[in-house]
């Protein structure tokens, strides 16, 4: 009952934060001098990327806890967080292409950060393909946990790609002394909003997945009893 009130409170909060975030991005934040209004996608792009990292990070931690505790609770949380992370990483690639087209005059280029992000996306596509391919529940959870842990190693590679390799990816801190102070405030507001939204999505997806897990356990117990 208490958790229900908290969730309703978060939903009401997001009903305010999400429209406010889009208003700040498209109406309040100043236009970037070089890229113009197309740079506004930056706020969404960064927020989506951090949301994806949150999902994959929770998958990483939950996978470790599953291997330690051997309970399906943690596996269920892992793949629930992974689903949300994969959704947002897909949106990162889409918004990145929409940003690249007017700035670089191409939809895609083999930039280090883009390539490492695409690799990350494929890793977690493979994670869910593996889950579909293994019918035995504990074996599926164990193998998935290993892939989830190893796959997360690409996240810091994505973040550091522009420092390790020559890149055309925007690094605004080097241009004009960094972001305008108002841009920074809008970015932080958008980032916090999306992280709250992502956390809510993961929680809701986990509740649904855990209910499905419990129902499957009941069906299996009934089948074993009847057998």
pLDDT digits (tens, 9 = 90+) for 110-155: 888 888 999 999 999 999 999 999 999 999 999 999 999 999 999 9
Which stretches does DSSP call E strand in 2-143? none
- Encoding tokens for residue 7? 């969730």
pTM score of the predicted model:
0.88
Give the mean pLDDT of 55-65.
97
Measured on CA atoms in the order 151, 156, 160, 165, is the torsion positive or negative? Answer: negative
- Dmax over Cα atoms in the chain, in whole Å? 73
- Encoding tokens for residue 127? 């994670």
d(CA 187, CA 44): 8
Q: What pLDDT was estimated at residue 227? A: 56
Find, among 56, 60, 36, 59, the residue nearest to 48 by Cα.
56
């Amino acid at each position: 009952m208490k958790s229900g009130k908290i969730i309703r409170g978060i939903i009401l909060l997001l009903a305010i934060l999400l429209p406010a975030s889009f208003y700040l991005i498209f109406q309040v934040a100043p236009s970037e001098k070089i890229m113009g209004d197309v740079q506004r996608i930056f706020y969404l792009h960064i927020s989506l990327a951090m949301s994806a990292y949150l999902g994959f990070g929770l998958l990483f931690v939950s996978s470790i806890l599953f291997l330690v505790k051997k309970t399906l609770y943690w596996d269920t949380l892992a793949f629930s967080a992974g689903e949300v992370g994969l959704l947002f990483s897909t949106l990162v690639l889409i918004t990145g292409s929409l940003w690249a087209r007017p700035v670089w005059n191409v939809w895609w280029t083999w930039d280090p950060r883009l390539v490492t992000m695409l690799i990350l996306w494929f890793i977690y596509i493979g994670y869910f393909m593996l889950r579909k391919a293994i019918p035995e529940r504990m074996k599926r959870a164990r193998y998935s946990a290993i892939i989830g842990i190893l796959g997360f190693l690409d996240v810091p590679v994505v973040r550091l790609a522009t420092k390790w390799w020559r890149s055309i990816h925007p690094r605004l801190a080097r241009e004009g002394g960094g972001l305008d102070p108002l841009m920074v405030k809008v970015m932080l507001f958008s980032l916090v909003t999306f992280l709250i939204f992502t956390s809510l999505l993961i929680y809701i997806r986990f509740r649904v997945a855990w209910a499905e897990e419990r129902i499957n356990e009941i069906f299996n117990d009934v089948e074993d009893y009847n057998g």
